[in-house]
Amino acid sequence: MDFELTDEQHLVRQTARAFSDNEIVERARENDRNEHFDTDLVRKIADQGYLGAIVPREYGGAGLDYLTYSLVVEEIGRGCSAMRTVISVQTSLVCSSLLRWGTEEQKHQWLPKLCSGEWLGCFGLTEPDTGSDAANQKTRARRTESGWVINGAKMWISLGNHAKLALIFAQTDPEKGHRGLACFLVDTDQPGFQPQPIHHKMGLRGSDTAAIGLDDVEVGADAMLGEAGDGFKVAMSALDSGRYSVAAGCVGICQGCVDASVRYSKEREQFGRPIASFQLVQAMIADMVVDTEASRMLVWRAGFLKDTGKPSTTETSMAKLYATEAAVRSANTAIQVHGGSGYVDDYPVERYFRDVRVTTLYEGTSQIQKLIIGRAVTGINALVPN
């Protein structure tokens, strides 16, 4: 693997950094304070081509490789995790699923609208009683003469209140277990699709999160992504892509913590000198720098494997596990460097701390990532009962 970025990758990175600094950072605090999902900012992100970054140009995307995509997500994540979430859901979960599992007709129907930001999409896998046990779906799909009728409920669905397209996972044959799962492309603008906003979140307050009720939601026979029984494979492949973008976004949080802490420690004086001159402050900053670089290298390695068509599930789990936990550590340490000033939102580290906590939970908890890694090295699947 060559660690030297190409001229194009440097340009993409610089452009994303400037966009984040000029458009995202200045809005992040107020959007967080007001629990405001900034659709105007989402449109600007779409205009940059970031909502379809890894989608080929023939379907309206930017045609970036995964490594270059990580550079974009890192810079957006440094600015605001709520906006990074929009990119992760739209690109890594929704668009990547359509790209891998959709028919040509489905790709041409949906991807251009998603890549342009005309439509937002959501990924309806998690349920009120179903998190890590993703195969245990309570939502049911019943076949009809014209297609399917879906009933159930979804929980913690990012973009669920604003999405025009929902990928809904449902059980078509409970006796088959995970082999009965299917993924449906659901137009949300119809009776029976009932999203409700989730408020009072610890972090990501500038993002849109929904609980969704599905009451006799009808879809046509051509609305299935893949075949009946492919739903679990669709979900796992999407999460593999989603974990990559979460990890890249957490590299951005790590870098943001470093930048903010270096800046503050040079400005803040105690005992007649900047606190940056104190050995223990430098030690804290050094810890954050090492975590940032280690996380970035794990993300780049996973991206390299994806771009070269090699297996990358284990390496993506490693990147997601390490980068999310490193970002939690970095945010906590950054607050320590800032002292009392880090406890209020005058500085970004307070928001970093609240926003990053969920990254060790969604798209597979840290414990699930460890089981995926453990399965790869031992050959034993600890998730399957003996």
| Whether residue 142 is found in the same domain as residue 105 | no
The answer to whether residue 190 scores a pLDDT higher than 80 is yes
- Indicate the SS3 state at residue 209: strand
Across the range 341-348, mean pLDDT stands at: 97
Please give the tally of structural domains in the chain: 3
What the block records as the tokens of 58 is 């023939």
What the block records as the tokens of 325 is 């936990």
| Whether residue 148 is found in the same domain as residue 212 | yes
Mean pLDDT of the chain: 96
The answer to whether residue 330 scores a pLDDT higher than 90 is yes
* 246-256 per-position pLDDT tens digit: 999 999 999 99
CA distance linking residue 384 with residue 386, whole number of Å: 6
The verdict on residue 384 lying in a domain is no
| Whether residue 247 is found in the same domain as residue 374 | yes
CATH of the domain at 197: 2.40.110.10
Cβ atoms of residues 233 and 178 within 8 Å: no
Which run of H or of E encompasses 269?
A: strand 269-270
Number of Cα atoms under 13 Å in the Cβ half of residue 303: 27
- Indicate the SS3 state at residue 138: coil
Percent of the chain residues past pLDDT 90, beyond the cut: 95
Cβ atoms of residues 304 and 1 within 8 Å: yes
pLDDT at position 385 is 54
| Residue 106 CB neighbour total at 10 angstroms | 17
| Whether residue 242 is found in the same domain as residue 347 | yes
The verdict on residue 383 lying in a domain is no
Which among 249, 158, 247 is positioned nearest to 207, based on CA atoms?
Answer: 158
Counted residue by residue, the chain has a size of 386
The answer to whether residue 281 scores a pLDDT higher than 70 is yes
| Whether residue 29 is found in the same domain as residue 104 | yes
Which among 260, 249, 264, 244 is positioned nearest to 331, based on CA atoms?
Answer: 260
The H-assigned helical ranges of the chain are 7-19, 25-34, 39-47, 66-79, 81-87, 96-101, 104-116, 231-267, 279-307, 313-338, 349-356, 366-378
| Whether residue 319 is found in the same domain as residue 258 | yes
Is 325 annotated in the active site?
A: no
* 283-300 per-position pLDDT tens digit: 999 999 999 999 999 999
| Whether residue 161 is found in the same domain as residue 264 | no
Q: Are strands 209-220 and 193-197 parallel, antiparallel or unpaired?
A: antiparallel
pLDDT at position 328 is 98
| Whether residue 90 is found in the same domain as residue 184 | no
Query: Which of residues 120, 135, 167 is at a domain's end?
Result: 120
Confidence of residue 386 (pLDDT cuts 50, 70, 90): very low
Q: Which of 23, 74, 350, 363 is catalytic?
A: 363
Note down the domain range covering 337. 233-378
